[in-house]
Amino acid sequence: MINIEKLHKSFGSNEVLKGIDLDVKEKEVVAIIGPSGSGKSTLLRCMNYLEQPTSGMVSVDGIVLNEADINKVREEVGMVFQRFNLFPHMTVLQNIMLAPLKVRHADKAETEQTARQLLKRVGLADKADAWPNQLSGGQQQRVAIARALAMKPKVMLFDEPTSALDPEMVGEVLDVMRQLAESGMTMVVVTHEMGFAREVADRILFVDQGVILEQGTPEQVFDHPQQERTQTFLSKVL
Amino acid sequence: MQFNWDLVVNSFPLLLVGAGVTIKITAMSVALGVIIGLFVGIARICHFKPLRFVAAVYVDFFRGTPLLVQIFLVYFALPVITGQRIDPYVAAVGACGINSGAYVAEIFRAGIQSIDEGQMEAGRSLGMTWVQTMRYIIVPQAFKRVIPPLGNEFIALLKDSSLVSVIGFEELTRRGQLIIAKTYGSLEIWISVAIVYLVMTLTISRFVAYLERRFATDDQH
């Protein structure tokens, strides 16, 4: 579903990604873990071209990403941000309906029906007419997930979706993501929630200093890490 | 010194006619300025370098030269090039609007840049184009934030519109001059003119304050 070859990304003279090769299969759930500044968010953001690779290739569902038809690819790739990024001047329902209406030119009644179903799915059926700032962080993030799902994406990218949340709200967001994984969505999740990664992910990537240092099933990476840096990192966060 | 109240009372209707003209050219210039300013402001931050350059030149030129000179340029210099006389009304609104556009552009640019980058990223990640994201997400939010500085700009423009009296356009200031030419009542008329301007600018600033409050409570930011 997502194919990455020899991906390099530099910001000025600072090389953040130093040659990444990665294949994410359909319905696979990949969790990317690693220390701050390791490049894991940058890697995720390259997958929908929010960051332009300095060199190398990224393709999604067989389409190689480039400047020209990036919007087509982004329609198929949902993204959820650390800080929700809901549109504050629109109600919850309008937030969800905007992209399907403007990008897909979908039918309005149908879009609204889908939006309400999605809100029900994330447990916020009664918040359709609320404004984003009337919601808690956890509720906002669930709306953001619904908003991304409204485009019926083939892949969902999550950039530290629970890092900006109060601890008691982390669970409700992870629950929604768990359901999504169970429904067969292809997901790439940058996260610090090791429990969630172990339980939900099919594969764990440990990224450090711009390279994928180690990868494998949760059991392999969490229980039998091969690299010393992985062991040090895990001993600090587990 | 004697203050001639009768002169004030008698010339007041004529001054009000002039005030009406002032309001009209200000409103037209504001409309022109906002439209120009919106596009130039967005052009200032777009990714297409030549457009950015043209927009920067526009802003530099019209902020960097006096409005009075710009009015002369439009009314006296432009006809030399085109060979056609220009209507004073068109010249007045044109010069004021184009001038105001440069200031409004900077207001919009600052307003747009004050919107969190995550908003653009969220819009783009949903498959919307840069233009769509600007139109539906960034600009509507920026509009609320630029209401106070836009209000200031409108007040400045209303006052600056007195400059078009130099091309014989009969707005409030020019009306005052004409009445004085007939009656020699400098004291009474200039005080009256000043008060009429003051009433108009205070009205605008109250209205802007009202808008600011309304939009502030609308989505509880």
Q: Where are the beta strands (DSSP E) in A26-146?
A: 29-33, 55-60, 63-64, 77-80
Question: Which residue in chain B has the smallest CA separation from A149?
Answer: B126
Hey, which residues 46-85 in chain B have their CB within 8 Å of chain A?
none
Residue of higher predicted confidence among A71 and B51: B51
For B6-29, the pLDDT digits (tens) are 898 999 999 999 999 999 999 999
For B60-91, the pLDDT digits (tens) are 999 999 999 999 999 999 999 999 999 999 99
A152 vs B: CB within 8 A: no
User: Strand A55-60 relative to strand A2-11: parallel, antiparallel, unpaired?
Assistant: antiparallel
Decide if B125 and A147 are in contact by the 8 Å CB cutoff.
Answer: no
Decide if A74 and B126 are in contact by the 8 Å CB cutoff.
Answer: yes
What pLDDT is stored for residue B220 in this prediction? 46
Mean predicted confidence (pLDDT) in B137-150: 92
Residue A189: in which H helix or E strand, if any?
A: strand A186-190
Hey, which residues 166-225 in chain A have their CB within 8 Å of chain B?
none
Decide if B100 contacts B153 (C-beta within 8 A).
yes
Decide if A81 and B118 are in contact by the 8 Å CB cutoff.
Answer: yes
Decide if B127 and A103 are in contact by the 8 Å CB cutoff.
Answer: yes
Residue A165, class by beta-carbon neighbours within 10 Å (0-12 exposed, 13-18 middle, 19+ buried)? buried
Q: Which is nearest to A184 in space by CA: A7, A28, A16?
A: A28
Hey, which residues 186-205 in chain B have their CB within 8 Å of chain A?
none
